[in-house]
Every structure is written in structure tokens, then in C-alpha cells.
A = this chain, B = another copy of it.
Amino acid sequence: MATSPLCVPPPQGLLRPLAVPERLLLGPGPSNVPPRILAAGSQQLLGHMHPEVLQVMDEIKMGIQYAFQTQNRLTLAISGTGHCAMEAALLNLLEHGDTVLVAVNGIWGQRAADITRRLGANVHELLKPPGEYFTLWDIEEGLARHKPSVFFITHGESSTGVLQPLEGLGELCHRHGCLLLVDAVASLGGAPIFMDQQEIDVLYSGSQKVLNTPPGSAPISFSEGAREKMLRRKTKPLSFYLDMGCLGNYWGCDGEPRRYHHTAPINSFFSLREGLAMLAELGLETSWERHRANCAKLCQGLCDLGLELFVKEEKVRLPTVTTVRVPDGYNWKDIVAFLMDNHAIEIAGGLGPSVGQVLRIGLMGCNSTSSNVDRVLSALQDALRCCQHSRL
């Protein structure tokens, strides 16, 4: 037994109890978690190879297939948050020297381009100003010019509030010999997406948005075309933790006996299972319609307050995250702080290219209700009145 004296004493901060206040999370995520999902996550642990856990994983897989509208067998949850799924998608698909075209109209495209560069791929960016979307014509021009093997685009650009139309995009990419990779972190369950019909090759999302599940696991799915590209790899993926060959086996996607790969975040899986179950019970169409209707009500209310929506065209407004211009003479930080301090409501300022320009209001999953719209509008009205003295 070592008898060395401890050089670092027990920290006082840890000897106080944990205190967590209740807030209404109407930022771009995370969203609030219903008691049923919190309860699932606080079940006692099981081993990561116990049959009950493998069963929960099978149910998660089915839940993702439903939410994504896909029959892809390589469908599973990554043991990390949405960012980790973005990395998993890119590092499994790409090898050093691959050419990638990334659609950049907000932070998520920027992030994907950064990750892709780290992986040693040749990155080309297709640029649009924040708040705009890409037409098929824009994209076809980029595909023809750069001849990428993978095209990345964001379905729900939560930094700008844009919902990217996906119709015809998969077919276009395939005509150009390119795989289509779509980020649906902020949009899944809130806006229609049909992975198989829309010929999306890789689709991923997060747990802490419409699924109302604590961050820590992230749905992802790969088409047969994407699987084939991965099977043709000459080098192993740069990550063991996110190696889709190993993960696919652990998730029972390859028909082989399931082998231990890593210790999965088991309680996060319990929560994710429950989030997907609640979406399945509600039904996708009902969820989409609810998000559409509450977003429409919010947009009308914001206009009634004299505020200007950041995304002009209604059809490309993201139903889960609404962006509104910071009104002239106000400091966005004052408004955000006022809602937090006086109403215990989180809304957010901009992110990346939209910093300083917008306020972002999220209505996701169980938070997308008519009464939450009323609450945030009333709080904003209050803020617009009370923050006047702090005009810049």
C-alpha cells in the first residue's frame, strides 16, 4: 500500500451538493427532456453486451430507421454527441486525397469543411450568404466543376434558421458519381426528410433537439452506396472509436456475431430509445405538422412585435429554429440575458457567421407548443420594453 501523502486535497467545490435550476430551453438545443426520458436514463446500468442492452440497441436502430425513413441496415447511434456523428460520417467515408464539396451557408458547413481538411481530403466550398439556401442549379455547377466523391449539405442550418430543400438532390449527386451526406441534427423530426426516397447516402442527427434526449448519442445511417465506398477503403478509418465496420458489427448490422468494441454510453442509449419511442408513438407526420404550426405562430408573433425575420422565404424557414434580426439599437446580449434572468427562458444569439445579427428561438419536440410560443413572445415583448435603456 502506498503511503505517499496526497499533494492535492479533496476540492471544497465538490463537497457541496449539486444544484440544477429548471429552465425553459428555447435556444437552438439542447431542448428540455420529458420526465419519461429522464427516468429511462436513470435506470440502473447493465453491461454493454447484456441481451437487454443489445435489444435496446435493436430498438434504437428501428427507431432511427423510422425517423430517417430508411431501410438501411447500417443504421445505429454513435457514442458521442451530434458533432461526433459529423466526424464519424466524414472519417469513415473519406480517405486521404478524396475530393469533397461542402455547401457552406452557416456554421455547420464551415465545421464540416474544417473536419474534412483535418482528414487530409481536398475540400472545395460552395458558398452562400447566411440566411440563403442552395438551388439544384448552384449545386450542379459545383459538382460539375469540382467532381467530388462526396457532397456535404446541412438540412437544418440552426445558425441561420434555413431549411435546405433536398428534393432531387440525391439523384443529382448520383448522376455526378457523388455520394450525398446530409446533416439533419437540428431538423430531424421537425421537418420532413425521407432518406431512401431522397437518395441520401449518409444521414446523421443529434439526440438533444426534437428527440428531447440528453446529448451523448447520435443517430446515423449509411446507404448501400456509402457502405460500398467504405468497403473499398485502402486504409483503415483514422478512428477506432468511430470505425463503422466495428460499430456495424457491435450494432448487429452485418449479420455476424456481435463482438465487444467499446463500452457504450448505456444510459444514453436507454434515453435515446425512449426519445425515439415517443416520436414513434406521436407519429412523424404529427410531429412535422406540430413544428410547422408552432413555428408559423411564432413567426407571426415576432412580426407583430415589429421584428424582422432573418429568413425571407417562408418555405425555407427551419421549423425548429427561428431566426430574427436583432432590432436596431438593441444589444442582443441584453435581450438574451433579460429572458434568462427574468423569465428563466433560454434563447440564443447568432453562431459563427450569424453572430451579432440574429436572435435564435428553438421550438423542438416537447418544447414546440402553442403555450411556449406565447411565453417566449410575452417575454420578448417585456425585453424589448425593458432593454431600451441599454440601447447601444
A residues sitting closer than 8 Å to B (CB atoms) are 1-2, 4, 6-11, 13-15, 18-23, 25, 27, 29-33, 38-48, 50, 52, 55-56, 58-59, 62-63, 65-66, 68-71, 79-84, 87, 91, 111, 114-115, 117-119, 192, 194, 196-197, 206, 208, 214-216, 236-241, 260, 262-268, 270, 273-274, 276-277, 280-281, 283-285, 288-289, 292, 346, 351
Contact = CB atoms under 8 A, between A and B. Distances in A.
A92 to B, nearest CB: 12
B45 A1 contact: no
B45 A4 contact: no
Given A48-B30, A87-B240, A265 B81 contact: yes
Contacts of A214: 45, 265-268
A70 B15 CA distance: 19
Given A56-B18, A69-B6, A283-B10, A206 B263 contact: yes
A263 B81 contact: yes
Residue among A63, A262, A264 with most chain B CB within 10 A: A262
B79 A81 contact: yes
Contacts of A267: 41, 214-216
Contact of A62 (B2, B11, B70, B264): B11
B9 A215 contact: no
A268 B266 contact: no
Contact of A44 (B2, B38, B45): B38
A11 B59 contact: yes
Given A216-B268, A267-B216, A69 B7 contact: yes
A367 to B, nearest CB: 11
Nearest to A191: B2
Contacts of A62: 11, 13-14
Contact of A111 (B23, B27, B240, B277): B240
A266 B87 CA distance: 20
Nearest to A63: B14
A18 B33 contact: no
A80 B115 CA distance: 18
Contacts of A58: 13
19 contacts: A1-B288, A4-B194, A6-B69, A7-B69, A7-B196, A8-B66, A8-B68, A11-B66, A14-B277, A14-B280, A18-B56, A19-B52, A20-B43, A23-B46, A81-B262, A81-B263, A111-B240, A215-B266, A260-B351
A197 to B, nearest CB: 6
B27 A46 contact: no
Given A216-B216, A216-B265, A277 B7 contact: no
